[in-house]
Amino acid sequence: MKLYDSPLSPFARKCKIIIQAKGLDVEIVNAAKAGADGYAAGSNPLGKVPCLERKYPDVALFDSPLICEYLDSLKDPWLPKDGEGRWKAYRMHRIGDGLAEAVYNRRYEVVRDESLHWPDIIERHDTAIRNVVTYLDDIIEYVPSKWSFGSIAVVCALDYADFRADHISWRSLAPNLANWHEGFTNKSEYKATYAY
Ligand SMILES: N[C@@H](CCC(=O)N[C@@H](CS)C(=O)NCC(=O)O)C(=O)O
């Protein structure tokens, strides 16, 4: 299997953490270097990374939540098979991805020429970033403190927020969350996939 990757992508990083943690045999391919079509190199008609190419059945998987669920299913699944725990895990994963999306979309607002910036939209993304981190801070006892289907998304999103939205200083808004995040930073999967 090949995972089409962009080293800075928080979405691809979730997949790489699962691959590392479970010792899966997946080749990581930098999509931008893999072909003239860059991001589209991984058989994803949406033109985004990550994308997982599998030999059998011959169908590529995307977006990242689906790839994560598939990779997780291959060995000692973190995602509960059923029951409320399954919905909680999906929900936590979604909160993390939503945070990463807010940071990513903000980035695409501010890299344009300044005359094209849309301040209301930038503020909307900033508000979402602040709201998510304070929300997680308030419910920290329910946020899994080891690798799980939910926590991978939150950890990856927070590092991406440091990288692309440091003006938010999320740690000062969410000290419990900062402490929680710190608990992951010594893990080998964290270090092996950290690219900022
Ligand atoms: N919802 C998608 C988001 C993926 C995404 O936005 N990937 C970015 C990199 S972080 C990308 O491929 N951007 C290139 C583009 O949009 O052209 C997922 O979870 O996989």
The pLDDT value given to residue 57: 58
Residue 41 has pLDDT above 60, yes or no: no
Query: Residues 6 or more apart from 14 whose CB is under 8 A from it?
Result: 64, 68, 96, 152, 153, 156
Q: How confident is the model at residue 33 (pLDDT cuts 50, 70, 90)?
A: confident
The total number of structural domains in the chain stands at 2
- 139 in any annotated domain: yes
The pLDDT value given to residue 180: 98
67 CA closest ligand 1 atom index:
20
Q: Which domain holds residue 135?
A: 84-193
Percentage with pLDDT > 90 across the chain: 87
CATH number of the domain bearing residue 40: 3.40.30.10
Lowest mean per-residue pLDDT among 10-14, 34-38, 41-45, 57-61: 34-38
15 and 50 in contact (C-beta within 8 Å)? yes
Q: Do 90 and 60 have their domain in common? A: no
Query: What's the predicted TM-score (pTM) here?
Result: 0.95
- 118 in any annotated domain: yes
Q: Is 100 exposed, middle or buried (0-12, 13-18, 19+ CB in 10 A)?
A: buried
- Best substitution site from 18, 49, 69 to test ligand 1's pocket, by max atoms within 8 Å of Cβ? 49
- 41 in any annotated domain: yes
Q: Which residue ranges have their beta carbon within 6 Å of ligand 1?
A: 6, 9, 11, 39, 47-50, 62-64, 97, 104
